[in-house]
A and B are shown apart, each in its own frame.
Chain A
Amino acid sequence: MLKIENLHAGVDGTDILRGLNLEVKPGEVHAIMGPNGSGKSTLGHVLAGRPGYTVTAGSATLLGQDLLQLETEERARLGLFLAFQYPVEIPGVSNMEFLKAAVDAHREQRGQAPIDAVSFMKQARETCKVVDLDPAFLKRGVNEGFSGGEKKRNELMQMILLEPRLAILDETDSGLDIDALQVVARGVNAMRSSERAFVLVTHYQRLLDYIEPDHVHVLADGRIVRSGDKSLALELEARGYAWLEDEVA
C-alpha cells in the first residue's frame, strides 16, 4: 500500500530524513517511535505534502501512485490522512461546514454528488458520540477555543468521516489523559480493516497498550534503525533510546 524507498527530505535544504525505507501493507498497523528530533513528524508531513518540505532523493508511492508528484489535496483525496500533532484553528468556519466540505471533496474524487446536509448532519452527530465530543462542537469554529484533548478528538472525527486508506497519526497521544487516549484507541481499533493501514507516530509506548501494532520501527537520525514486533516497544520503554543510538553509532 505504502512504499517508501531511500527517502531523503527536509526543510530549508537540510535533510532530516536520510534514506528512510518503509513498507506498509493493507490491514497493518505500524508504530514509528524514536527520540525527539529523529524525524518522526517530518515523515508524516513529507508524505502529506506540507509546503516547505522538499524531497531530495528517493521515492514514496501510495496504492501504486507516486505520492511525491501529487498536490497536497490530491494525496488526501487518494486516501492519505494525517492527524495533526497541533491542529490549527480556523475562526468563523464552523466545524460542520468544514467537515462537509472535506467529505464532499473526497466524494467528488470518487465521482459522487455532494452528500445531502441532513444525512451528513446525522452521520456527524453519531461520530461525535464515537469520539466523545459534544455535538455542540459541530457548530463551533474549527478547533476555535478547543482544549488540546478536544482538538485531538476532532482530528479523530475527521478521520472517521473521511475513511482514509492510510491514516498517519502524528503524536495524537501526546497531552492526552488516559480517558481520551482510550477514546482515540477505540476509534482507531474500530476502523481497522483489511483495506486500511495505520502509521502511529509516537514517543511513548503507552498508546500501544491500547492499539496493538503489527510492526514497530525505531527512527533515529532520519532512518529506521530497528524494526520488530510489539515487544520492541516494550523494550524501548524499559531501556530508553540511548542504547539504540549508541548501537547505531
Chain B
Amino acid sequence: MSQEHIDQAISREYSAGFISAIESDTLPPGLDEEVICWISHKKGEPDWLLQWRLEAYRGFRQMEEPTWAHVHYPPIDLEAVSYYSSPRSMKDGPKSLDEVDPELLATYAKLGIPLHEQEVLAGVAVDAVFDSVSVATTFRGKLAEAGVIFCPISEAVHSHPELVRKYLGTVVPRKDNYYAALNSAVFSDGSFVYIPKGVRCPMELSTYFRINEAKTGQFERTLIIADEGSHVSYLEGCTAPMRDENQLHAAVVELVALDGAQIKYSTVQNWYPGDAQGRGGIYNFVTKRGVAHRDAKISWTQVETGSAVTWKYPSCILRGDNSVGEFYSVALTNNFQQADTGTKMIHLGKNTRSTIISKGISAGASSNAYRGLVRMSPKAAGARNYTQCDSLLIGDRCAAHTFPYIESRNPSAVVEHEATTSKVSEDQLYLCQQRGLDAEKAVSMIVNGFCKEVFKELPMEFAVEAGKLLEVSLEGSVG
C-alpha cells in the first residue's frame, strides 16, 4: 500500500468522525496496512506509533508461524479475525447476575469469590455506588501520591509519550517472533506502569482494579518500568475463569528493571480451556520478557490452568552484573489441553543468578511440555543457574515432556538441572481415602502439595485462590 493510500485511509476515517462511531465500531475481519492505520487513528495515536506499528506489520508479513512447539491445532486464519472491536459498553453487558451463565456462577461460588467481584468478572453493568469504583478511586490517589503511574497503555501514549517511546519494544523487539510482531502491529490495549526511582510501590498492582480495561481483547500489550532502586509487584489476570470468547490471544509483556530495581510479576491464567471433548478454547500465544540491569531482580510466577493451547515463555535477560532472574511456574492441563511453556534465562552480566522451578501437571488426555533455555554468555563470569522441573501425571492418557536447552560459553558459570516425573500413585490416593477424604479432594491435596514451592511465591490471597483453582480445574480428572 502506498503512502497515498494510507493518507486516504486516514482522511476517510477522519471524515467519518470517530467520536460518534466509538460505541459501535467493529472492523470487518482481515488484516492489512489500512486496518493498522485505522486502528492507530481510531486511538488518536501519534505518527511515530503508527510508523512503529506499520514497521512491525511489514516484519510480520515476512515471518512464518512457528511450528517447533509441542502443540497441535488447526491452522489459525488471521484473515478471519477482526482486529478492532471497541470496548463493549456497559449497556451491552448483562444487567444482573441473573443473566449470567449459571455454570460460570457455580464455578465462582466454588472459588469463594465475593458477590460484587463476581459481578465485575461476569461483566455485569455496575452503577456508581458500586464498591470497587470507590476502591479504584482511593487506589489511584494513593498511587499518585507515591508518583507511580498506572494506567492503560493507550492513555500513557498521550500522557507519558516520552516513557512509552523510550521503552516500547526495547525488551521484545517488534520483529522478535511471529506473534510478537502481530501484537506490535495491532495491539489493542494493556497496562502501563512506571515506578519512580527509589519508590516502593505502596500496593500490589492488579488489573482487577482497572475495570475499564475489561474485554480489551486479544492483543494486549503491557509495559512495566521500574526505575533505579524501585520495587513493584504486579498481578495479572484474575483468579476466576473469564469466559473470553476470543479464539486467539497474542499478548506481549515487557519489563524493564533498571539498576537495583525489583519487579515481581504474577499471573494466574485460566482462560476458557475448551470443553471436556476438546472443543473450543483459547489459543494463548504470549511473549513475556524482562530486562534486569545491574543488581536488579525480575521474578515471574505463573499459574496456568486455562486455554486450549498455551505457548508462553516468560524470560529474563540478565544484562547487568549481579542481576537475578526467577521463574516459578505451575502449568496444569486437563482433558485435551496442550501447553508448551517454560522460560529463557539469558545471562549476560557477571555473577548473574537465575532460578527456575517448574511444575507441570497433566491429567485427562492432555499434553504438558516444559521448554527452557539457560544461556551463559562469554561475559557471564561466575553466573549460576538452578533449574528444577517436576512433572506429575494423573491417569494414564496424559503426557509430560521436558525440553531443556543449556548453552554455556563461560567456564566459570554453573548450571544445575534436576528433573523428575511422578504419578499420583494409587497408594497415595488409598491412604487419603482410607482417612475419609474423597478421591477428588485427595487428588487436589496431592497436587497442591506438589506445587507448594511455587505457590509460596504468590501473594498470600492469590495462593489460596490458586489452590482452589487447581481443584476446580481438576474436576472430573479422577474416575
Contact = CB atoms under 8 A, between A and B. Distances in A.
Interface string A31-53: 00000000000000000111110
A73 B452 contact: no
Contact of B450 (A50, A81, A92): A92
Given A72-B430, A84-B431, A88-B427, A98 B445 contact: yes
Nearest to A80: B434
B478 to A, nearest CB: 11
A94 B438 CA distance: 18
Interface in B423-451: 425-439, 441, 445-446, 448-451
- Chain B at the A interface: SS class: helix
A88 B453 CA distance: 21
Interface in A90-128: 90-94, 97-98, 101-102, 105-106, 109
A73 B429 CA distance: 10
Interface string B141-169: 00000000000000000000000000000
Contact of B434 (A52, A82, A94, A109): A82
A52 B434 CA distance: 14
Given A93-B448, A97-B445, A101-B441, A88 B425 contact: yes
A50 B430 CA distance: 6
Contact of B431 (A90, A91, A106): A90
A46 B433 CA distance: 14
Nearest to B455: A92
A162 B431 contact: no
B426 A76 contact: no
A109 to B, nearest CB: 7
Given A51-B426, A72-B430, A93 B436 contact: no
Nearest to B446: A90
A19 interface: no
Contacts of A18: none
Contacts of B427: 88
A118 to B, nearest CB: 18
Contacts of A72: 430, 433-434
A109 B448 CA distance: 24
- Chain A at the B interface: SS class: mixed
A54 to B, nearest CB: 15
A105 B428 CA distance: 17
A92 B426 contact: no
B449 A102 contact: no
A90 B441 contact: no
A217 B420 CA distance: 45
A71 B433 CA distance: 9
B449 A91 contact: yes
Contacts of B438: 71, 73, 105
A49 B433 CA distance: 9
A26 interface: no
Interface in A122-162: 141-142, 158, 162
B428 A76 contact: no
Interface centre among A49, A51, A71, A97 (most CB of B within 10 A): A51
Nearest to B452: A92
A87 B431 contact: yes
A76 B448 contact: no
A92 B451 contact: yes
Interface of B: 425-439, 441, 445-446, 448-453
Given A76-B434, A92-B448, 5 more contacts: A88-B427, A90-B446, A92-B453, A101-B441, A102-B435
Interface of A: 48-52, 71-73, 76-77, 81-82, 84, 87-88, 90-94, 97-98, 101-102, 105-106, 109, 141-142, 158, 162
Which 7 residue pairs across A and B have the least CB separation, nearest first?
Answer: A92-B449, A93-B449, A105-B436, A102-B435, A72-B433, A92-B452, A76-B436
30 contacts: A48-B434, A51-B429, A52-B426, A71-B433, A73-B438, A76-B434, A76-B435, A81-B434, A82-B434, A84-B434, A88-B425, A88-B427, A88-B428, A88-B431, A90-B431, A90-B446, A91-B449, A92-B448, A92-B450, A92-B453, A93-B446, A93-B448, A101-B437, A102-B436, A102-B437, A105-B437, A109-B436, A141-B449, A142-B431, A162-B435
